[in-house]
Chain A
Amino acid sequence: MDRFHLLLTALSLILILTVLRSLRQERIRVEHSVSWLFGGMLLLVLSLFPGLLSRFAAWLGLEGAPLAILLLALVVFVGIFYRQSRAISELKDMNITLTQRLAIVEFELRSRDEAGS
């Protein structure tokens, strides 16, 4: 195995192990770990079977495997970042709704207390 594929294997293993560790420590939710694990596994498979990567590069008309892996990584991680942006937006919307609701409920409780006293 050449140095490039060795590095790729190491990086994908680090990615997979980091995500699994975070999962075990409950620092990342399962639904948000799937795409990272998928990306890591894909990199791992391609690094362990160099022929696969070469064939993929040839199919794309690219010279050399490194370019193909870069392209693939770009597609996978852009997808992951997009999912993250959607998740953040949903969380922000929920946060706004909850903040407003909490303020209104506190206001109504205070009004009730004042009316009662």
Chain B
Amino acid sequence: MSSEPRVMLLIPAFNEEAAIADVVTEARSILGEVPVLVVDDCSRDATIGRAESAGARVLPLPCHLGLGGCVQAGYKLAHELGFDVVVRIDGDGQHDPRDIPRLLDALRNSGAEMVIGVRDPAQPGFRTGTMRRIGIAFFKALLRPILGRAVTDPTSGFVAVDRRALSLFSRTFPLEYPEIEALVVLQRRRFRFEEVRCRMRPRMAGRSSITALKSVYFVVHVLLGVFVNILRRTRI
């Protein structure tokens, strides 16, 4: 008997009251029966209430853990509840839920453990900040020899993971700025990832958590994290 994989949509959120209800509503209208889990990273605003009103289940964290700890909590819960696939999108509306079926198709057809939704370079009218552009270019160059392949946007938070990656990320997941390090964690286990080009939208509300001032800290932190993951003994 072959059954359809159980899919969960995971949305990490921190102070996203302005956008979260629209993100959840839009995702539910497209995904139908797929459960939507919002992991609230101890927001100080009405994120929890807005997400629940829009029909999401909410996992509220009692302390602020940062993005990595917040996403991992969702992965852990999904893994324990027996989900086969988890799709993660941002809570600010940058990711278009209409792309999710394409991510799921790619996950099913490619045999890769993770699929990343990356911004289509040909997308007109989409501006990325200068610091972010420099950072992405730097990490793309750094990751290429480590991963043995090119990666279009290593900072994308639009990903779908299968049961194997879910199990891995439930046990080990980077704490801060997790996306780049997560690629190295995957590579160390000989897991594969594929990319799907998507149309990214401007965030509905709020500001990016990565400001220009934090950029230097971001680069040093991620750089260290990447090399620590390379040096670390692999535990499966």
Contact = CB atoms under 8 A, between A and B. Distances in A.
A50 to B, nearest CB: 44
A4 interface: no
B59 A95 contact: no
Nearest to B58: A107
Chain A interface extent, by class: under 10
A95 to B, nearest CB: 7
A104 interface: yes
Taking chain B's interface residues, is the majority helix, strand, or loop, or is none over half, making it mixed? mixed
A102 B62 contact: yes
Taking chain A's interface residues, is the majority helix, strand, or loop, or is none over half, making it mixed? helix
Contacts of B65: 96, 99-100
B60 interface: yes
B69 A107 contact: no
Contacts of A14: none
Contacts of A102: 62
Nearest to B69: A96
Given A104-B73, A104-B77, A104-B80, A96 B62 contact: no
A103 interface: yes
Nearest to B39: A103
B155 interface: no
B72 interface: yes
Nearest to A111: B57
B76 A104 contact: yes
A99 B63 contact: yes
B175 interface: yes
A99 B64 CA distance: 9
Contacts of A100: 61, 65, 69, 72-73, 76
Contacts of B76: 100, 104
Contacts of A104: 59, 73, 76-77, 80
Interface string A88-104: 00000001100110111
Nearest to B64: A99
B61 A107 contact: no
Given A100-B72, A104-B73, A95 B80 contact: no
B62 A99 contact: yes
Contacts of A96: 65, 69, 72, 175
A103 B72 CA distance: 12
B69 A103 contact: no
A103 B60 contact: yes
A106 B63 CA distance: 14
Nearest to A107: B59
8 contacts: A99-B61, A99-B63, A100-B61, A103-B59, A103-B62, A104-B73, A104-B77, A107-B59
Interface of B: 57, 59-63, 65, 69, 72-73, 76-77, 80, 175
Given A103-B59, A103-B61, A104-B80, 12 more contacts: A99-B61, A99-B69, A100-B61, A100-B65, A100-B72, A100-B73, A100-B76, A103-B73, A104-B73, A104-B76, A107-B57, A107-B59
